[in-house]
Structure 1
Amino acid sequence: MFHMFLFYLCCWSLIGVFAAETNEMQSVMEGDSVTLNSDLTEIHEDDDILWKYGAENSLIAKISIEKQIFSTSDVLDGRFRDRLKLDNQTGSLTITNTTTEHAGDYELEINGAKLSTKTFILSVYAVNVSHVTLSWYKGNSLLSSISASDLSISLSLPLEVEYQDKNTYSCVLNNPISNQTQHLDITQYCYVTCPGVFAAETNEIQSVKEGDSVTLNSDLTEIHEDDDILWKYGAENSLIAKISIEKQIFSIHDGLDGRFRDRLKLDNQTGSLTITNITTEHAGEYELEVNGAKLSTKTFIVSVYAPLPTPNIIRDCSSPPSSSSCSLVCSAVNVSHVTLSWYKGNSLLSSISVSDLSISLSLPLEVEYQDKNTYSCVLNNPISNQTQHLDIRKSSYTLLEEHMAGVEGLGLQAWQALRSWPKEVALQGVSLSKEARERGGELCADF
């Protein structure tokens, strides 16, 4: 009899945990809002809605239609002050700007025609690094990872890559409810900050074209009463913008040298900063510092690129005329942080790059007159590109006409006859004349 009693007791307990109670799991990131839904469409006249929190079942909210009560409570330690919102239509409870101290059990009790309860188990994940995994991926393949459980610490995970590596890499920080991914641009990171060790800091890379605007997002949905928002720039951490709700401060600064004059805009709702009509002198590091219930920082690395000119294709006049091939040069002047490349179709033939200095780039190409492939010269930086396409047939006849234009005494009839010949034959005939070669050489720069 004793064993039979114990068996039934265990079965009752299992049914109670998984079926009989209306338990709901909720997960939320620290700083976000979460709504605990009552599942009611309306509250009846004789209903009393009670919201309780924690092991002590502290009353935090109450609705009584009959007694005209719609109230929220801070509880004894004040942790819910200015954070609770009641839906007077459904009785649902919203907790705003959650922190880890709001995690735990919430009980909804409805006293009316019948008594019903519903329990919510709320998990709050901190923005700082706790209960997370930091991982390196090559494509979709996991390379390495490191985890942290309860302690709020800084995580770092090294990765060694080759400069010429063409694979895609990404660093992923995740917890049970969300993830953040930073993709790796080997040329952008390693040429600046090698050896390629990246920590789980809230750093953001922004690239923008000169003359455009860029917004550095604070990732806040609102600024709280006790928050101070500070924006700083450069190695000297010069203060360029500040918001203090408590002191009614909403200010921007030009910077010591005035480079930000009439260019900064502050979002008074979120604290985000916009830089308008940006130039290369506004490139560099920007730091956002939020002082409130806790201190948090975020660093932005802004790269500014000048508009790209269209590359220019000309014939290489230093090369003697040929019966079968043409020497071309693609060039771009006063450029920096760019790559100049020749393509045959979609295949890269050759390229040359420049980083910091504003210089002129040139890249030669030798093509056959009878070549039917398509060629293009591309000038690009990380955010834009300019392309010049090459029409070999048009270029060949242009060269022929230039040579013919240099032949003195060549009558219209003879010119038309040469025009009807194959290009390579006509060029051979015309190039026999020394005078023609000289005159053609003078004119080829226009090609």
Structure 2
Amino acid sequence: MMKSTFKICQIFLLMCGVFGADADEVKSVMEGDSVTLNPDPAKMQEFILILWRFGEKGSTIAQIDGNDISYPNHTEIFTDRLQLDQTGSLTIKNMRTKHSGLYKLQIEHSKGTPDKQTFSVTIYESPSVIAGAEAEMKSVSVMEGEPVTLHVPQLQGDELIVWRFGDEEKLIAKHDIKKSSPLYFDERFRDRLKLDHQTGSLIITKTITTDSGLYKAKISSNKQTLYKRFTVTVSVPGVSSGVVAVIAVAVAVLAAAAAAVVINYRLKTKLPMELLRVVSVMEGESATLNSGIKMQTGDEIQWQFRNEDSLIAEIKGETIKMYTPDGPDGIFRDRLKLDKETGSLTITNTTTEHIGLYTLKFKRGSETSYNKLVLHVKQREIAVMEGQSVTLNPDKKKQTGDKIQWLFGAEDTLIAQIKGETRTIIMFRDILELDIETGSLTIRNITAAHAGVYTLKIRRGRKPLCQTFFVSVRERKITVMEGDPVTLNPAVEKQSANLIQWLFGDEKQLTRIAQFTGETGIIITYDYFADGSFRDRLELDKTTGSLTIKNTRTEHSGLYKLEIISNGVVSDQTFIVTVKDKVEEKLLKGEDSVTLNPDTKIQRDDQILWMFGDQDKLIAQIRGGTGEIYDDANERFRGGLKLDETGSLTITNIEAEHTGFYKLLIISSRGILYKKFRVSIQLVYLSVKRLQTFTINTGLTAIQRDDEIQWRFGDKNSLIAKIEGGTGKTYDGPDGRFRDSLKLNDQTGDLTIGTCQRNDGGHYKLKIRSSKGNTNKTYIVIIRVLGDDVTDEVWEKPLMKENNDSTGKRVNESADVMKPLLNREYV
């Protein structure tokens, strides 16, 4: 529930790494803010259609068709949030974490191939809620113990409200109105925060002095974003409001300075400077409040808790006194130690009840000074996986006569206790175990409903002991490769059950996909639900309750919930399943063709579908034993596809436009088989100096008379050299850039470029046709502008280069690199 800023930053950077790896541009924004995705202006010339897609399925969420702007499939998560203008820029307003992901832009032109861009958008929780002076400031004063309300404007129903407090601007409350999510709160305000769902106002009940400080609110809606700031002063009886106000303002100064600062101020009675410090310990540990002084003869010290009427310890002359028996609720009984040499106070076995302001009153001669400290006690947190067990152990060994009580939740509801030799389970009877020897509490088969604060109270004569545990429950997460089976096993062995149900979906909607009825012993799978994606894939084990999903697909990723009903008691467990793409790689190292095989025997009644690219365009199929070949509107394959009776697909005369993802779908009476292939071409990188001559080698020792060699250059595949019938010929190329600078070796086909210029860099493509077969190679030439101090040492190293595939995603292509080591280089 509580996360540190450091962890948030780690998660944010990790997300950027995951999403950004496949994106042309990476965007990161704070939850509640807006983001605008701008197309590359160079790609917007003469467009006829613009499509914006989101998510793994690539659903179109916004489009421009001619002059018409529409939002054909803006699902509920984008309601009233999208704005697309005629420039193609897409704005998403009032964003939530569910809007994180890949946004794909496709631009169709009247001529040529479509342009594509991919944007990775990450929505994160910022450690800072507002930009300082942008927000209106209000001052609010209240007496300790009284409630205070921080008012914000009337809500419209789609707002995200974020409240932060103090020097760290730590998140203390967050509420998504549209989602009707529960109030997120910080432990320091445990049981004391309320949020008015009608107005968005924050209410702090039972205020204490440490609540003084700066509160910041950000209210984001689809129409606007508002900011509010409040300075809250909590006054203590016996301490002037002016003093507390200085403390509150000092907290705000701490936020700006981002450092530990000692705050000094002087009372009207001309006392020496007062100090405010914060001491933080884990619950159960000892806390020492240092006085910062060395005692002398005649010095007097008094320690007070929260207000001047709560004297808890003092040193007067040679006498040390503790006032804990009659102190505030007896919470300090047998816990205080006072150092006679320094006056420092130590509190042992701390609990959250000891949180608050401590005042040291120090008198030496006729002068009196005050030292103020704030003690913060952190709760211990125990994280456990859903469905597993956890044991909460007391720090103190149980003794004869102890009365033990276990309490749960904000209401401190009694759930279990030990009196004498009798133990009683009051709540959660089916999952709780109470050890009568140690007082330890075990929670079995834990679910999210059992997460929260557990408080242990031990009555030992007149000495009360208190210990608090915060238990958080994590969902079980399982990752599987596409095509592989996955089995979801209950965390505990299934007992006799009246009904077992498996459900699938997301947090908003779950659909039943399998069930077992104990009375009849009948298993039913509802595989026609969830769009039929589970058809012939589900197996439910009635002995263990385990669910197996066979031949998994990416659409099987999501939330699975197991519900077990036994004798009227319902228990549940949750699993998060992620199915990753399983891709068969086909890397071409000079070959001009590749064959993609189903690796399964095809029956006559099977339907075979071959698809290509991000839109899964159908390029070939077998139906009823008859094969058919298709081509897209751009005639990308131009007769280069072959389909045989085994279902294998061969792509010939492969060029860069043929690289990307190919998907195979086999539909038969036996079920559905799905395979995915990625075809890529090996690249060779050459790095050369400007104004020098370089040669691109074919790798041939001699060519035959009937061999044909072609050299092409650039994105337009301009023919610049060829050998045909044993005769070589060179061309000037685009813009005449190669005029009088090309030489072709008639024996090997090697191409030499003399006195190379900057614009000679780029893609050089070699095609060799011979009786032995065809070969294609692509060379990337980089022209360098160099200084004089250059070493000529050359090194070779394989390199994985990222390039865009047909889906607009970046794929890995192997490249052999020859690159000199340089002292200075300018490209």
Larger RCO (alpha carbons 8 Å, 6+ apart):
1
When the two structures are superposed, what TM-score results if normalisation uses the length of structure 2? 0.20
Q: Which has the higher strand share?
A: 2
When the two structures are superposed, what TM-score results if normalisation uses the length of structure 1? 0.35
